[in-house]
Structure 1
Amino acid sequence: MTATAEAEPDTQQDSTSTNTCFARFINVQKSYDGEQLVVKGFDLDIRKGEFVTLLGPSGSGKTTCLMMMAGFETPTHGDILLKGAPINGLPPHKRGIGMVFQNYALFPHMTVAENLAFPLEVRHLSKAEIQRKVERALAMVRLEGFGDRRPAQLSGGQQQRVALARALVFEPELVLMDEPLGALDKNLREEMQYEIKRIHADLGVTMLYVTHDQTEALTMSDRIAVFNDGVVQQLASPETLYEAPENAFVAYFIGENNRLQGIVTEYSETVCQVQLDNGDRVLAKPVAVSGVGERTTLSLRPERVAIIRGESTGFDNRFSAEVREVTYLGDHLRTRLSVCGSDEFVIKTPNAADHAALRAGDVIDIGWTMQDCRALDA
């Protein structure tokens, strides 16, 4: 399955024309040895000012696509366009693209100001113009007064801000980011996510971002392309990817998920009944199944499962479950249950006094709607 921007129902604007899209991959393939493809028929249209993330596990092909856009790798097949013009044969320094790497790639012998001035000097700007742009870039990343320091005198978060400022200082229309926050600790990483998102909103620059961190992708992106084995599994907004995954890989790569396997016993276009491997029957929304007899994996988000107390008619599926483990996580509780033939069934509930009373060994009733349970590929 190859997902394209043209096929994605979530994108309401027309991104199929080179008149409306800013950057474009057209049936791009890449092989390093002439035999095995690491990118297989990649199609993507990126609108001007959009923040698009390539998300996937290591070795899935996402970084290779970024490097082909930057000019550090050449496609084996297909075309890459920037503002409607093919750039396959254009060297990196002539593409006018900003680049931010995971290891910052700052010059250690230069001050912060000299690092930022470098891409302007090679473009032969005047000293006055260089000074103005450097000061503006430092203010953009909130590092005014740091121009005379060297990279070794900065924290990891500050170095990453300088790397971002250097990518933006010559005012490129497209900025590429390759796992830029991977070397930061959790708190700094979260802070920089919102900082990059703020800068993107302020400048309106187009960004193509690579990460394997789903939280980063969900937090920052307008759209996300989920990669696996060189193929885009789904291209959509963060909300659509989380709420409406099209296949099992996307469902389990984006967020936590309960997986229940079984066989379709009744089917229509809007609802199917699945007999689980333990014999229980579940009503689900058919997404990647097409008829009776097919094996399927059901996808159900933990927060979509409710604890039922007393009589309730609001759930298509209702089961008794035994509590195995309760984990306190501050704003919510993560409870592991034994139900529907699985000892790893998880629910997430708000941190309320009645839920906090759950203990291992308790038997509770849980329920969920058919719409929240998606029947995907086996």
Structure 2
Amino acid sequence: MAETTDPFVRFQGIQKSYDGETLVVKDLWLDIAKGEFLTLLGPSGSGKTTCLMMLAGFETPTHGDIILDRTPINTVPPHRRGIGMVFQNYALFPHMSVAENVGYPLKVRGVGRADARDRVRRALDMVELGALGSRRPAQLSGGQQQRVALARALVFEPSLVLLDEPLGALDKTLREQMQYELKHIHETLGVTMVYVTHDQSEALTMSDRIAVFNDGVIQQLDQPSMLYEHPGNAFVAQFIGENNKLMGRVEDVAGDRCRVRADSGDLVEALAIRASGLGERTLMSLRPERVSVNPPPGSMPNVFDAEVLELIYLGDHLRSRMRVCGQTDFIVKVPNWAGHVHLRPGEHLTVGWHVEDCRALDA
């Protein structure tokens, strides 16, 4: 985002407390660009949904300002903000038809009947429900109801759409299908979307950027690939994707690299991301797919003895739990090809990884 361009949405020093003592959101500064798909990701109670509700107008900040398109909106009621909203429970009117549900935002805005009819038709066609306008919500599947809720949020052409865990009630297959459809709609319309979820796969699939929340604070704000490949602290590393954790103490630091004496006594070379002081505790983070089985001698600086404890067949790869560096929960994702499918529990071998794939973070 260019520094000379005003953000479309700005959270400016936002704090939120419900009891006057405990801050649910702590000094939030966040800019969202026009047309961006930003996901607020984090565990329950991390503050992400509270931020969305403050932007929607259903909650009021305890301190700070929310700016929408250069206009402060703290005191603007929800219905005057011009924001589309999609909830997890759909919030459809059961006594209205699909078309009436979608057209409701136009009715309360006084849009003429003919214009409203055209807009409803376009919105339903966009979510591929054009033939179901006369049905009631109870006659639709969960995925269809979610599409109706999305069409209703988009029908009045808002510049900002907020989505509060909208796919949480769907089954896995339908949820994945809807992720791609949402992404496609976003790319087609160019509308700004702010999406709340605790599901990291949803966030990685759809987002331009992800703000990872914990304890009311953004831990890291970045593109999906950067969050996965370059987590900035131990919380982000463990929350985004699967990670092996090796605890130890820093023995040496040279530039951006360090050597860590693992609790098992093994010496591990890693990138010094959050480990700078000699003797300090650190958590080393390593993705399971970055671990090689029986690497050629001299090909990697980190090579250790391992024992296969458990194997799970997952089609395109084997998920192997091994004993490595004293850890019995060390996971290695082994590609399913002829050289690897013969691993057996109890087998002894070596595993290795590059320095660039092992990150020494906060303990």
TM category, shorter = over 0.9
2:267 matched to 1:267? no
2:280 matched to 1:307? no
Matches of 1:59 and 1:268 in 2, distance apart?
Answer: 39
2:143 matched to 1:131? no
Matches of 1:107 and 1:314 in 2, distance apart?
Answer: 63
- Say which SS state the counterpart of residue 132 (structure 2) adopts: coil
Matches of 1:342 and 1:91 in 2, distance apart?
Answer: 54
2:126 matched to 1:145? no
Please say if residues 256 and 273 of structure 2, whose CA atoms lie closer than 8 Å, have aligned partners that are also in contact.
no
TM-score by length of 2: 0.99
Amino acid of the structure 2 residue aligned with 1:377: D
Equivalent residue number for residue 178 of structure 1 = 164
Q: Which residues of structure 2 form unaligned runs of 5+?
A: none
Matches of 1:160 and 1:268 in 2, distance apart?
Answer: 53
The 5 Å alignment of 1:344-355 reads: 344-355=329-340
Amino acid of the structure 1 residue aligned with 2:57: G
| Structure 1 residue 144 displacement after superposition | 1.4
Matches of 1:308 and 1:172 in 2, distance apart?
Answer: 56
Deviations 1:184-240 (A, max 9, x none): 010010010001000000000000000000000000000000001111100000000
Equivalent residue number for residue 222 of structure 1 = 208
Tell me which of 175, 189, 201 is aligned to 2:187.
Answer: 201
Equivalent residue number for residue 53 of structure 1 = 39
| Structure 1 residue 129 displacement after superposition | 0.5
Equivalent residue number for residue 147 of structure 2 = 161
Amino acid of the structure 1 residue aligned with 2:78: P
Deviations 1:121-146 (A, max 9, x none): 11111111001100000011011101
The 5 Å alignment of 1:285-304 reads: 285-304=271-290
| Structure 1 residue 49 displacement after superposition | 0.4
Equivalent residue number for residue 356 of structure 1 = 341
Equivalent residue number for residue 360 of structure 2 = 375
Equivalent residue number for residue 196 of structure 2 = 210
Please say if residues 6 and 70 of structure 2, whose CA atoms lie closer than 8 Å, have aligned partners that are also in contact.
no
Matches of 1:117 and 1:345 in 2, distance apart?
Answer: 54
The 5 Å alignment of 1:53-132 reads: 53-132=39-118
Amino acid of the structure 2 residue aligned with 1:351: N
Amino acid of the structure 2 residue aligned with 1:331: D
Amino acid of the structure 2 residue aligned with 1:151: P
| Structure 1 residue 331 displacement after superposition | 1.2
Matches of 1:312 and 1:223 in 2, distance apart?
Answer: 40
- Say which SS state the counterpart of residue 146 (structure 2) adopts: helix
Equivalent residue number for residue 8 of structure 2 = 22
- Say which SS state the counterpart of residue 290 (structure 1) adopts: coil
Matches of 2:122 and 2:255 in 1, distance apart?
Answer: 56
Deviations 1:95-149 (A, max 9, x none): 0000000000000000000001110011111111001100000011011101000
| Structure 1 residue 166 displacement after superposition | 0.3
Matches of 2:256 and 2:301 in 1, distance apart?
Answer: 14
Equivalent residue number for residue 241 of structure 1 = 227
The 5 Å alignment of 1:331-350 reads: 331-350=316-335
Number of residue pairs matched?
363
Matches of 2:244 and 2:341 in 1, distance apart?
Answer: 22
Matches of 1:49 and 1:312 in 2, distance apart?
Answer: 50
Matches of 2:142 and 2:28 in 1, distance apart?
Answer: 34
Tell me which of 296, 312, 319 is aligned to 1:327.
Answer: 312
Amino acid of the structure 1 residue aligned with 2:256: T
Amino acid of the structure 1 residue aligned with 2:336: N
Q: Which residues of structure 1 form unaligned runs of 5+?
A: 1-12
- Say which SS state the counterpart of residue 130 (structure 2) adopts: coil
Matches of 1:178 and 1:217 in 2, distance apart?
Answer: 13
Matches of 2:298 and 2:122 in 1, distance apart?
Answer: 60
Matches of 1:314 and 1:173 in 2, distance apart?
Answer: 53
Deviations 1:304-335 (A, max 9, x none): 001125x3333120011000001001111100
Matches of 2:188 and 2:85 in 1, distance apart?
Answer: 18
Moved over 4 A (4+): none
Equivalent residue number for residue 4 of structure 1 = none
TM-score by length of 1: 0.95
